Amino acid sequence: MRLLLALLLPFTVFFTIGKPFQGFFCLLLQITLIGWIPAAIWAVYTLSNWRTDQKLRKYQ
């Protein structure tokens, strides 16, 4: 579900994982059509790192 959000509405991913300042910056980037692709890539990358962190915390 979050991966789909990362591709369609990248800024929402940052709000769902608790990073509102990055979400606001991503929204500013996403407003431009050219910035949509980098915003989506950034959101997917951050989501991947967040999932990895969650898995590591589970095993500690």
**Looking at the domain assignment, is residue 14 inside a domain?**
yes
The pLDDT tens digits of the residues spanning 3-58 come to: 888 888 999 999 999 999 999 999 998 888 788 889 999 999 999 999 999 999 98
Number of structural domains found in the chain: 1
Predicted TM-score (pTM) of the model is 0.84
Nearest residue to 50 via CA among 26, 29, 35, 3: 3
The 3-state DSSP class for residue 53 equals: helix
- Which domain, by its residues, includes 25? 2-45
**Looking at the domain assignment, is residue 10 inside a domain?**
yes
**Looking at the domain assignment, is residue 52 inside a domain?**
no
Alpha-carbon dihedral angle through residues 8, 19, 16, 35, given to the nearest 10 degrees = 0
**Looking at the domain assignment, is residue 59 inside a domain?**
no
Mean pLDDT of the chain: 90
- In order of 10, 47, 59, the CA distances from 53 in angstroms are 20, 10, 10
**Looking at the domain assignment, is residue 7 inside a domain?**
yes
pLDDT for residue 36 = 87
Tokens at residue 23, please?
A: 């979400």
Q: Residues 39, 29, 4, 20: is their CA dihedral positive or negative?
A: positive
**Looking at the domain assignment, is residue 56 inside a domain?**
no
